[in-house]
Amino acid sequence: MPDSPSDFIRDMVRADVAAGKHGGKVVTRFPPEPNGHLHIGHAKAICVDFGVAKEFGGRCHLRMDDTNPTTEDVSYVEAIKRDVKWLGFDWGEHLYYASDYFQRFYDLAEKLVERGRAYVCDLPDEEFGRSYRGTITEAGKDSPYRTRTPAENLELFRGMRDGKFKDGEKVLRAKIDMSSPNMKMRDPPLVRIKHAHHYRTGDSWCIYPLYDYAHCLEDSFEGVTHSLCTMEFESARELYDWVISATEVPHVPQQTEFARLNLTYTVMSKRRLLQLVEQKRVSDWDDPRMPTIAGFRRRGYTPESIRDFIGRVGVAKNLSTVDVALLESCVRDDLDRRSPRVMCILKPLELVIESFPENEVEELEAPHWPAGTEPGADIAENLRGSRKLPFSRTLLIDRDDFAEDPPAGWKRLAPGREVRLRHGYFVTCTRVEHEGGQVSRVICTHDPATRGGIASDGAKNVGTIHWLSAAHAKDVEVRVYDRLFTTENPGSDESTDWLLELNPASLTVVRAKGEPCLAQAEPSARFQFERVGFFTADPDGKPGAPVFNRTVALKDAWARQTAKAAPTKAAPLVSQPATTEDKKPAAPLSPEANALVTAHGVTAGEARVLVQDAVLGALFAAAVAAPEGEALAKQIASVLVNDLLGEMRAKKIDALPFDGKALVELVQLGQAGTISTKQSKDVLAEMIASGKPARAIVEAKGMKQIASADALGPIVDQVLLANADVVARYRGGNVNVFGAIVGLVMKQTKGQGNPKVIADLVKEKLA
DSSP type of residue 273: H
Q: Catalytic residue among 59, 117, 184, 270, which?
A: 270
Question: Is residue 404 annotated as part of the catalytic site, yes or no?
Answer: no
At 115 the three-state DSSP class reads coil
Question: Is residue 155 annotated as part of the catalytic site, yes or no?
Answer: no
User: Measuring CA to CA, how many Å separate 682 from each of 177, 252, 526, 661, 688?
Assistant: 43, 42, 46, 18, 10
**Alpha-carbon span 707 to 675, nearest angstrom:** 10
Does residue 140 contact residue 134 with C-beta atoms inside 8 Å? yes
User: Measuring CA to CA, how many Å separate 146 from each of 119, 150, 178, 261?
Assistant: 6, 10, 11, 40
Conformation bin of residue 439: beta by default, left when phi > 0, alpha when psi is -120 to 50: beta
Residues 614/620/622/628 CA torsion (nearest 10 deg):
180
Q: Catalytic residue among 33, 218, 418, 515, which?
A: 33
**Alpha-carbon span 681 to 666, nearest angstrom:** 10
Question: Is residue 270 annotated as part of the catalytic site, yes or no?
Answer: yes
Q: What is the three-state SS of 428-494?
A: EEEEEEEECCEEEEEEEEEEHHHHHHCCCCCCCCCCEECEEECCCCEEEEEEEECCCECCCCCCCCC
Q: How many residues does the chain have?
A: 767
Does residue 35 contact residue 290 with C-beta atoms inside 8 Å? no
Distance from the first to the final alpha carbon of the chain: 42
User: Measuring CA to CA, how many Å separate 582 from each of 250, 544, 572?
Assistant: 73, 60, 10
Q: Catalytic residue among 81, 146, 200, 260, which?
A: 260
**Alpha-carbon span 675 to 655, nearest angstrom:** 26
Give catalytic residues, as residue numbers.
33, 260, 270
